Structure 1
Amino acid sequence: MDLPVFDPELIGAYASNALFITGSALSSPVGLIADLVAAASSLLP
Structure 2
Amino acid sequence: MSIEQIKQAFGLEITIVTTANTKEEGVELFSQLGFPFQKQDGQEI
- Normalised to the residue count of structure 2, the TM-score between the two structures is 0.28
Higher relative contact order (CA 8 A, sep 6+): 2
- Normalised to the residue count of structure 1, the TM-score between the two structures is 0.28
More helix by share: 1
Q: Highest CA radius of gyration, 1 or 2?
A: 1
